[in-house]
Structure 1
């Protein structure tokens, strides 16, 4: 038998390549079968015809200034057939969802919470903070951060909202001569100052110094991320580097991350000092008016407090969340305020109703806005909501399916990108009659009661809704009311002449050109 064993062993080295090749062939066949099943399921959905390999990439991978127009055009064409439709971006299927009932399937789910591939280009800047994380990490971050947006904590930020709005109004007084100018940058710099002070506890004075390295880095890295999302040849890291973009990208990252880490270090020292004062106060039974009541805390301070009780939270984790606040907390808010100004500027009769409301609340008093004032701003708030309906700051919400899902009787396979399109959902005539009309009264209580809960999703919805939406609405009401208490706003730009940019946020290509006149 020894000779037989030797013969068998001698054959093993020759058999290994065949076993390996058989395994490879088996894997390829398995992949091919799965791929064909996926293609077959996706092709059952309506959508524009594609070409081999590239699919519809040549249609949808266009410059940012053209992207939204292309997707909007496809939505109007294919959205007439069905509330969902598909395109192929190379080998990757993307399904567009543009009606509330179908959007609810994804947004209400605790399973379909993974962000789409587009968000991976934010990872170098934001890491895997609340916006970009998934699974257990997202759930733990959400639980950690939710208390930071408690009503009483947001109330402490009123001082910042009022102060920065006042600086902006002073600047606008010099432009309030009835002549055209672009107000978009003024509002954006105000929003940037607000989020820097509330998130990091540091004043960057963007309104006074828009040429600072930090301000320029914020805007440039946003543009680079957008370019990368829209241009497939920039997406591989090696090509991004070879084409020269990575050097500028990394330089921006250094400025942004250095600022965040500097703030973490600075606020940690202040946190420890504050903790020591409380301890000394407690031991001496002094009155506590000095500690904790007069000192306003930034979001970062609340994160530092959480990190002290949980050693697993590192400085990198803190930086991810601070940078996420910075990214999410200024551009989206600035866009909402600007669209509100534009729509009020083109509807003077509605603007007059807002002025009447503000006059009833404030009269001729220049005092800061209070929480009670915010509760009285019903018409102002409805105008902001209606502006967000027509022009949602985030026009697309991307999710990556980790398991198969059925939407409108279509089986959509795992690995598909789902693009929920608030811009189209908000224009469903069944939910919003005469959807193109600017009508703030849509948001009166009696007009909302029968509306589908997912018909209005400017802050997303469901378990992964925007954690900062109360913060955003407070800021928007204060900034917008600060402008309208002082000025009348006019705009000669017709809605049909607007050119929308489908960037990280929805903005007009030529800015928000208005005229201001003192009241």
Structure 2
């Protein structure tokens, strides 16, 4: 009897092994039909990037993409990746309602973001997307403009102390302003990052991103077990406790506040700083929960942390690249200033209204052209959940699809003189007829960025304050800038500028 059982077990093991080997063989065979650099056993193509300096990685990927344009493959050890750069090919992935699963590389964000809108998939993602979409309605965004303006005024006052003709890195100033904005709009609480630069929460936001990047760039830290035992992992989880602890505290305070109001207690309409209370993203999620769409505290934390993550670094680099490009193109900067002077002719110092922001047509074109050249997120990745045909190649299920937004935005078939900065590309008559996936700084299709209107309004507000008050000069030449494209695309040495008061 034991012999028969052993034979059956062995047969099952052999059958399963045969299926796995067959699938892997098919995967390898199909992937290796694509062009790409020589891959070696076990390492794949990692030998080409393992010892690259951080500031040289983007240039390396740029050369490789151009060499094998418009599609090529690489191997991250035993894991195949297919790199896609043409808008027509991006459309096949981004427009699909089936290919919505993020690649395995996003798993490194799970300890921080859980299964929030960025990292979830399937029915959970669909239900969350449907639940959260109303939070970005125009009327809600209109209420946020006041927050944008308040934080931008603080930024300008701080920058006035630096407008002495000397060069400095403006990036930390912008990122703290963006952090103030996202914290108040997401959670309805103020951390005053622009003044409290040494607070535990502000430090944790910066550190957690840096530690995540360090892990992604260190193959020996990819294992969860090894990472938790490493000094990097221990520091990561200490910082994570600070972030999650802060979010949980705010959630409990908000829930208690709503409970008090339901119990008939009078809730003051002003916050601890004497300002009128505003509706934040978290308030709207709690309201949805009360309407029967149950979200646990863990669900609330995931979505608030996701909003904090996605709405902080991305807008910072978006605004930074606009300032860099305007510093290199003073003629364009003066056109933006002329538009702002016209809009604020009645009172140059007043806060912008939603109508003012909508009237900033040329500034919006500048922002769009900046995002074309330097998209905040240069690459995104999906996992093929089914076979897909792209550029005549059969790409098997389970392959990682790396979508090069950076290179799609520089495709000469869609963008004449693609390296040239030209905001007029976004004049209405020139936009008409352009391929819908030739410009996707906020991704595209069903998984596009839910907060893109929020981001553009924030950038318009903050940039309009800076450009009304200062003339911006960029110190380093564009051709000399080295880029880092880890979580976001930013200059390696910061954003070095000189400011002159207007």
Instruction: Give the TM interval when normalised to the shorter protein.
Output: over 0.9
Alignment equivalent of 1:308, drawn from 273, 290, 302: 290
After the TM superposition, which segments of 4 or more aligned residues of structure 1 sit over 6 Å from their partners? Answer: none
Residues 205-224 of structure 1: CA deviation (Å, up to 9, x unaligned): 10001111001111111111
CA distance in 1, matches of 2:206, 2:133: 28
Partner residue of 2:64 out of 65, 68, 74: 74
Compute the displacement of 1:31 (Å): 1.4
State TM-score, norm by structure 1. 0.93
**Is contact 1:130–1:324 with CA below 8 Å preserved after alignment?**
yes
Find the residue that maps to 1:458 and give its secondary structure. coil
Alignment of 1:370-385 (within 5 A): 370-385=353-368
What's the offset of the Cα at 1:241?
2.5
Q: 1:30 maps to which residue?
A: 19
TM-score, normalised via structure 2 length: 0.96
Q: Spell out, residue by residue over 1:259-307, the C-alpha distance to the aligned partner (whole angstroms, 9 max, x if none).
A: 1011101111222344566x999xxxxxxx99xxx74200000000111
Who is 1:256 aligned against?
243
Aligned partner of 1:319 in structure 2 is 301
The SS at the match of 1:156 is: helix
Deviation at 1:163, TM superposition (A): 0.3
Point out the more displaced range, 121-130 or 490-499: 490-499
Q: Deviations over 1:313-347 (max 9, x none)?
A: 10000000000010000100000000000000000
Secondary structure of 1:402's aligned partner: coil
> Aligned in 2, Cα 1:311/1:369: closer, same or farther, shift over 3 Å?
closer
CA–CA distance in structure 1, aligned partners of residues 432 and 329 of structure 2: 26
2:4 maps to which residue?
Answer: 15
d(CA) in 2 for partners of 1:274, 1:372: 34
CA contact 2:44–2:78 (8 Å) conserved in 1:
yes
Contact 1:271 1:301 in 2 (8 A): no
Query: 1:415 offset after TM fit, Å?
Result: 0.6
Counterpart of 1:198 in structure 2 is 185
Work out whether residues 60 and 71 of structure 1, in 8 Å CA contact, stay in contact via their aligned partners in 2.
Answer: no
Aligned position for 1:341: 323
Q: 1:375 to 1:90 in 2, by over 3 A?
A: same
Q: Which runs of 5+ in 2 are unaligned?
A: 271-275
SS across alignment from 2:497: strand
- The answer as to whether partners of 2:45 and 2:77 remain within 8 angstroms in 1 is yes
Q: Distance in 2 between matches of 1:411 and 1:219?
A: 41
Aligned pairs (5 A) from 1:58-73: 58-61=47-50, 62-73=52-63
List gaps (5 residues or longer) in structure 1.
Answer: 1-11, 282-288
Q: CA-to-partner distance for each residue in 1:333-374, whole Å, 9 max, x for gaps? A: 000000000000000011010011011111352000111111
The alpha carbon displacement at 1:17 in A equals 1.9
Aligned counterparts of 1:365 and 1:353: Cα–Cα separation in 2: 16
Q: Secondary structure at the match of 1:87?
A: strand
In 2, are the aligned partners of 1:94 and 1:418 still within 8 Å (CA)?
yes
Q: Residue 41 in 1 paired to residue 30 in 2?
A: yes
Equivalent residue number for residue 365 of structure 1 = 348
Residue of 417, 423, 443 corresponding to 1:440: 423
User: Is 1:475 the equivalent of 2:458?
Assistant: yes
Structure 1 residues 473 and 409: alpha-carbon distance in aligned structure 2, compared to 1, 3 A threshold: same
1:462 lines up with 2:445 in the alignment = yes
2:176 aligns with: 189
Counterpart contact for 2:186–2:280, Cα < 8 Å: yes
Q: How many residues align?
A: 494
Structure showing greater Rg? 1
Paired residues for 1:194-233 under 5 Å: 194-233=181-220
Query: Secondary structure at 1:157's aligned position in 2?
Result: helix
Report the counterpart of residue 270 of structure 1 in structure 2: 257
The structural deviation recorded for 1:189 is: 0.3
